[in-house]
Amino acid sequence: MKKILLFMILLSFALTFGQTKVGSTAAPFLTMSVGPRATSMGGAFVATANDVTALHWNPAGISRAEKSSALFTYNQWFADIKYNWAGSMINLGGSGTIGFSLGYLDYGSIEVTTLQEPEGTGESFTPKDMVLALTYAYNLTDRFSVGGNIKYVNQKIWNSSASAVAMDLGVLFISEIYGLRIGATISNFGTDMKMDGKDLYVQYDLNSQQYGNNDQILAKLNTDSYPLPLTFRVGLAIDPVKLENHRLTLGMDMLHPNDNAESINIGMEYQFYNFVSLRSGYKALLLNNSEEGLTLGFGLNYDISPALGLFIDYCYQDFGKLNYSQQFAVGINF
């Protein structure tokens, strides 16, 4: 009997830790990859983040950027879903670096249907998600940096919406060993989200079997609250080749989310003459229920003047049964 009881206890623990909790969080768009450069490196970017997309990947990274920068990226996802993201960071010298970013997810137009009119009412609506973030980062020493985001998150479906306030925290350490960098972040630590709005009001019949009673009592549907997709990420990056006109960067990120199992991202970037960059990576290693995988991309940099530079990035990401997605970005350094 004791052996059976012990076996049942161990089995219950195994089942508990085996649950991935997929689909148990709100605002999953917060986990989407931002920027063709980081995405084409397989999302292995938390220790490499040194451009304006560090606002998303590791806010501590913007303190290592030598110039101020601004970027706009367009992500053509599957099922006509589009994600636009824009960010800017300003280097304040010894006072640190500040940043601002805005992300907007557009699901496209959807026709309104009801129980009474299942073929459509003639109306349409566009679900949308939005995140607005303010960032500050500072170099505590010549090798250690810290940074954080405070952000407002909103999801809207027709006449109902949900909002949350969250924060990201990041650290970055740079060693002398082949430029080895170690980064860590905790993302989307904030309040729960709960849908509310006039779409939740319905007419309800307390007793549909009774004739003559009031069948149009105004009632409101009660919705559950859901946490944000909290993610803890640790990454390593190294430059095994770093010459005057050639640089090879290798990166690896390890992810521990609250709504899925642990996974690993790997990636690389080869840059020559500070003009052309070639990138590749692989996302979601060790994750059995993911369609993500191979990523490829390139970037072009051109200095218009010593004080002004232009860069363009592109990324292709394989999504298995869901086909693929593409990202484009254009930005300036100033």
Contacts of 39 (CB under 8 A, 6+ apart): 33, 295, 297, 315, 317, 327
Q: Is a pLDDT exceeding 50 seen at residue 256?
A: yes
**Mean pLDDT in the chain?**
88
pLDDT for the residue numbered 331: 96
Burial class (CB in 10 A: 0-12, 13-18, 19+), 295: buried
Burial class (CB in 10 A: 0-12, 13-18, 19+), 100: middle
* Domain residue ranges in the chain: 29-189+230-333, 193-226
pLDDT for the residue numbered 16: 40
CATH code, 29-189+230-333: 2.40.160.60
Q: Is a pLDDT exceeding 80 seen at residue 10?
A: no
| Ramachandran category for residue 286: left, alpha or beta (phi over 0 → left; psi -120 to 50 → alpha) | left
Tell me the pLDDT band of 78, cut-offs 50, 70 and 90: confident
Q: Do 39 and 33 contact (CB within 8 A), yes or no?
A: yes
Q: Is a pLDDT exceeding 80 seen at residue 207?
A: no
| Ramachandran category for residue 178: left, alpha or beta (phi over 0 → left; psi -120 to 50 → alpha) | left
pLDDT for the residue numbered 212: 61
pLDDT for the residue numbered 95: 92
Angle of CA points 42, 128, 320, to nearest 5°: 35
pLDDT for the residue numbered 20: 63
| Ramachandran category for residue 122: left, alpha or beta (phi over 0 → left; psi -120 to 50 → alpha) | left
Burial class (CB in 10 A: 0-12, 13-18, 19+), 214: exposed
Enter the tokens of residue 162.
């949900």
Q: What is Dmax (Cα atoms) for the chain?
A: 87
- Proportion of the chain above pLDDT 70, given as a percent: 90
Q: Is a pLDDT exceeding 80 seen at residue 19?
A: no
Give the tens place of pLDDT for each residue, 92-111.
988 999 999 999 999 988 88
What is the DSSP pairing of strand 231-242 with strand 246-257?
antiparallel
Q: Is a pLDDT exceeding 80 seen at residue 4?
A: no
Enter the tokens of residue 206.
């307390």
pLDDT for the residue numbered 14: 38
Give the tens place of pLDDT for each residue, 265-290.
999 999 998 899 999 999 999 888 88
- Specify the pTM: 0.87
pLDDT for the residue numbered 9: 32
Q: Is a pLDDT exceeding 90 seen at residue 185?
A: yes
- Read off the pLDDT of each residue in 82-87 and give the average, rounded to a whole number: 97
Q: Is a pLDDT exceeding 50 seen at residue 310?
A: yes
Give the tens place of pLDDT for each residue, 22-63.
777 999 999 999 999 999 999 999 999 999 999 999 999 999
pLDDT for the residue numbered 100: 97
Tell me the pLDDT band of 11, cut-offs 50, 70 and 90: very low
pLDDT for the residue numbered 217: 78
